[in-house]
């Protein structure tokens, strides 16, 4: 979790930040990379304080671990740091976060299974719906593949996160 230093509103006039949670299966490859890419984009524009950004996994195998070294290496080559430690998503995240963005269909099903009628307030959907250059429905799991899979993930995430920022960008 990257806590904002100030707490401005989504509109930038002194209320609360816009909260965004990226979700994959293990929370060591795709969603920490999405978190890092989005933090990088907002940091570059001085929008860090306007957002609260985090990531989580639907599984618990890697809880407490930093992002996979292969993912961190690929991201570092683009000047992007991945600060997260893995944690498992909970039903409370669907109340705490404004936006929950999943990487693939399996993640989306698992997150939807956590929704509680009348309590869940987060908007849940696939991150790839924000892609502009790529026409894909999922960010593929790179865990069991080669180096090129990690670069492909970052290409998709840079596109999707830029599109997401255009939708969420505080105005005013
Ligand atoms: P992620 O990748 O969901 O992008 O973090 C994976 C990481 C670990 C495993 C699967 C996917 N695993 O089976 O341990």
> For 106-121, what is each residue's pLDDT tens digit?
999 999 999 999 999 9
- Across the range 60-77, mean pLDDT stands at 98
Q: Which of 22, 36, 59 to mutate to test the pocket of ligand 1 (most atoms within 8 A of CB)?
A: 59
Residues 31, 160 contacting (CB under 8 angstroms): no
- Residue having the nearest C-alpha atom to atom 13 of ligand 1: 26
The predicted structure's pLDDT at residue 171: 84
pTM: 0.93
Domain count, the chain: 1
pLDDT of residue 89 exceeding 50: yes
Task: For the chain, give the mean pLDDT.
Answer: 93
∠ CA 128-134-139, nearest 5°, is 40
Give tens-digit pLDDT for 150-170: 999 999 999 999 999 999 999
- CATH number, domain with residue 104: 3.40.50.2300
């Amino acid at each position: 979790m990257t806590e904002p230093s100030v707490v401005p509103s989504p509109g930038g006039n002194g209320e609360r930040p816009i909260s965004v949670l990226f979700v994959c299966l293990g929370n060591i490859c795709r969603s920490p990379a999405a978190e890092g890419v989005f933090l990088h984009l907002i940091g570059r524009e001085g929008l860090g304080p306007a957002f609260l950004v985090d990531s989580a996994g639907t599984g618990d195998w890697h809880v407490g671990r930093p992002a996979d070294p292969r993912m961190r290496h690929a991201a570092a080559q683009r000047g992007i740091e991945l600060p997260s430690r893995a944690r498992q998503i909970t039903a409370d995240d669907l109340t705490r976060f404004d936006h929950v963005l999943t990487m693939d269909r399996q993640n989306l099903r698992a997150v939807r299974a956590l929704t509680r009628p009348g309590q869940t307030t987060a908007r849940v959907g696939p991150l790839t719906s924000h892609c502009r250059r790529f026409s894909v429905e999922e960010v593929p799991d790179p865990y069991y593949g080669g180096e090129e899979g990690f670069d492909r993930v970052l290409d998709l995430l840079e596109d999707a996160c830029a599109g997401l920022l255009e939708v969420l960008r505080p105005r005013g």
